Structure 1
Amino acid sequence: MRDPTIGGLARQGGVGVETVRYYQRRGLLETPPSGGSGDGVRRYGAEAARRLRFIRSARTAGFTLDQIGELLALDAGQDRARARDLARTRLAELDAKIAELETARSALRRLAKACGEEAAGPCPIITAFEG
Structure 2
Amino acid sequence: MRIGELGQATGVDIETIRHYEKIGLLSPPAREANGYRNYDAAHMERLAFIRHCRALDMPLAEVKRLLDFVAHPEADCGDINRLIEEQLGRVRERLNSMLALEKQLVALRGRCGENHTARECGILHELVAASHEPEGRKS
> TM-score, structure 2 length as denominator?
0.80
Instruction: Write the deviation string for residues 97-120 of structure 1: whole angstroms up to 9, x where unpaired.
Output: 000101111111121122127958
Aligned length: 126
- Contact 2:3/2:39 (<8 A) preserved: yes
1:68-124, CA deviations, whole angstroms, 9 ceiling, x for partnerless residues?
111100134523111111110010010010001011111111211221279586433
More deviation, 22-31/114-123: 114-123
1:85 aligns with 2:94: no
* In 2, Cα distance between equivalents of 1:34 and 1:9: 15
Cα distance change on mapping 1:115 and 1:6 into 2, 3 Å = same
Residue 39 (structure 1) shift: 6.1
Alpha-carbon distance, 1:62 to partner: 1.1
Q: Which residue of 2 aligns with 1:68?
A: 63
Question: For 1:18-55, what per-residue CA distance to the aligned partner results, in whole angstroms no more than 9, with x for missing partners?
Answer: 110000001000111212xx665322111111111111
Q: Distance in 2 between matches of 1:125 and 1:11?
A: 45
**CA 1:77–1:113: 2 relative to 1, 3 Å:** farther
| 2:50 equivalent in structure 1 | 55
Quick one: which of 23, 27, 41 aligns to 2:24? 27
2:6 to 4, 9, 12: 9
Q: TM-score, normalised by structure 1?
A: 0.84
CA RMSD of aligned residues (A): 2.1
CA distance in 2, matches of 1:128, 1:80: 51
Amino acid at match of 2:112: C
Structure 2 stretches of 5 or more lacking a match? 131-139
Unaligned runs of 5+ in 1: none
Given the alignment, which residue of 122, 127, 133 partners 1:129? 127
Identity value in percent: 29
Structure 1 residues 81 and 64 mapped into 2: Cα distance closer, same or farther (>3 Å)? same
- 118-127 vs 16-25, greater mean Cα deviation: 118-127
